[in-house]
Amino acid sequence: MIIDCHGHYTTASSKLQAFRDEQLQLFAAGKSTSVAQMSAISDDEIVDSIENNQLKLLKERGGDLTIFSPKASAMGQHQADIATSVRWAQACNDLIHRVCELFPENFAPGCQLPQEAGQPLTDAVTELRRCADMGFVGVNLNPDPSGGHWACKPLTDESWFPLYEALVELDVPAMIHVSGSCNECHHTTGAHYINADTSAFMQLIQGDLFARFPDLRFIIPHGGGAAPYHWGRYRGLAQMLGKPEPSEHVMKNVYFDTCVYHKPGIELLLSVVGVDNILFGSEMLGAVKGIDPDTGNYFDDTKKYLDQLPLSETDYHKLFEGNVRKVFPRLDNRLKAMNL
């Protein structure tokens, strides 16, 4: 199988965004957002939005299944209060669940969480458990729910531990994924995402999180941000901080995806990080959706870059299927239940 660990429902019905707009207008007006209501979305609308977009591209590119989560830039944990974020997360996750029930062999669900900077993660844990009960296999954990202010403690701080305890208990890995940027100096997908990936990696070097949670697993998307390119810097910083090598200290529990959108980047990733810590991902559809004029191919058709490399069958199997089934045990169970 070819499994893409990173896809978002960027093509959902406009009714979802209309619901969000109503929430945010009520919030801005100082009114209760609980009166916001989402119009019913039919199965036909969902099928249309998927068949003509993500599923079409998945099949054209030779893929089989995507771990599918709500549109990340729209999670917007910083945009309103926690009660509003709870209802928004429920609406988005319920829609993801319906997609994955309609296309069980092509999509497996990942959820977003209601979070509020500086506040306990009680509602996030509740939503995680609700989604796990519905069969979700993964979760997007926002390391900066302030949307660019970085008003939270680092991921190694004990304030995050209740969520980690639930992740370990449920055997769900977390993709470290920010949402939109509230700072115009940091473009959402060009700077804020990559900054966050890099910051998360450095936080993990500075701390000792996996000694406390040896079974916790993170995916740092977008190729691990700047970490692979600056690997020597991070090894040297770990040394200066009296920490073990990142390969021992961090990479027993952390995986990077292949969303770097050019072949030299993929080659660097493989040579520095190694095949065992890389999961195939494309972040299709929407982060960078154009065609590269140099190759004539879509930037986010990341399978094409991998297909050009002189890798063994064993390594291809790890990248496209084996690693992701290991990191996402609930996905493995879901596929086995379908004899896949």
Q: Find the binding residues for Zn ion in span 71-90 (CB under 5 A).
A: 72
Integer Cα distance of 150 and 196 in angstroms: 9
| Least Cβ distance, residue 312 to Zn ion (angstroms) | 29
**Contact between 116 and Zn ion per CB under 5 A:** no
Residues 285-314, one symbol each (x = binds Zn ion by CB under 5 A, - = not), give ------------------------------
Whether the CB-CB separation of 73 and 188 falls below 8 Å is answered with: yes
CA 207 to mean position of chain CA atoms? 22
| Least Cβ distance, residue 223 to Zn ion (angstroms) | 12
Please give the C-alpha separations between residue 81 and each of 19, 35, 69, 317, in angstroms, as whole numbers. Answer: 16, 14, 22, 43
Taking the least distance from each CB to Zn ion, the nearer of 72 and 100 is 72
Q: Any idea what DSSP says for residue 207?
A: S
Taking the least distance from each CB to Zn ion, the nearer of 72 and 209 is 72
Q: Find the binding residues for Zn ion in span 54-73 (CB under 5 A).
A: 72
| Least Cβ distance, residue 69 to Zn ion (angstroms) | 7
Give the range of 51-59, 180-188, 280-288, 317-325 binding Zn ion by CB under 5 A.
280-288
Please give the C-alpha separations between residue 232 and each of 163, 272, 301, in angstroms, as whole numbers. Answer: 31, 10, 29
| Least Cβ distance, residue 113 to Zn ion (angstroms) | 14
Taking the least distance from each CB to Zn ion, the nearer of 228 and 286 is 286
What 3-state DSSP class applies to 330?
helix
Taking the least distance from each CB to Zn ion, the nearer of 283 and 300 is 283
Structure tokens at 312: 């063994």
Taking the least distance from each CB to Zn ion, the nearer of 4 and 283 is 283
220: β partners: 256
| Least Cβ distance, residue 64 to Zn ion (angstroms) | 19
CB count in 10 Å sphere of residue 113:
25
Give the range of 233-241, 247-255, 275-283, 324-332 binding Zn ion by CB under 5 A.
275-283
Q: How many residues bind Zn ion (CB under 5 A)?
A: 2
**Contact between 321 and Zn ion per CB under 5 A:** no
| Least Cβ distance, residue 322 to Zn ion (angstroms) | 22
What 3-state DSSP class applies to 22?
helix
The number of C-alpha atoms within 13 Å of 314 and in the hemisphere containing its C-beta is 2
Rule CB under 5 A: choose which of 116, 123, 283, 321 binds Zn ion.
Answer: 283
**Contact between 197 and Zn ion per CB under 5 A:** no
Integer Cα distance of 263 and 255 in angstroms: 19
Dihedral sign (CA 40, 43, 49, 50): positive
Q: Residues 116, 127, 283, 321: which is the catalytic one?
A: 283
Give the range of 125-133, 147-155, 237-245, 279-287 binding Zn ion by CB under 5 A.
279-287
Structure tokens at 270: 């493989």
User: Exposed (0-12), middle (13-18) or buried (19+): which is 335, by Cβ within 10 Å?
Assistant: buried
Sheet strand arrangement including 107-111: 3-9, 65-70, 107-111, 138-141, 174-176, 218-220, 254-257, 278-279
Taking the least distance from each CB to Zn ion, the nearer of 72 and 219 is 72
Q: Find the binding residues for Zn ion in span 28-57 (CB under 5 A).
A: none
Taking the least distance from each CB to Zn ion, the nearer of 72 and 202 is 72
**Contact between 96 and Zn ion per CB under 5 A:** no
Q: Strand 138-141 to strand 107-111: parallel, antiparallel, or no bridges (unpaired)?
A: parallel
Whether the CB-CB separation of 303 and 27 falls below 8 Å is answered with: no
Give the range of 39-47, 79-87, 98-106, 276-284 binding Zn ion by CB under 5 A.
276-284
| Least Cβ distance, residue 72 to Zn ion (angstroms) | 4
Annotated catalytic residue 248:
no
List the catalytic residues. 283
Binding site for Zn ion (CB under 5 A): 72, 283
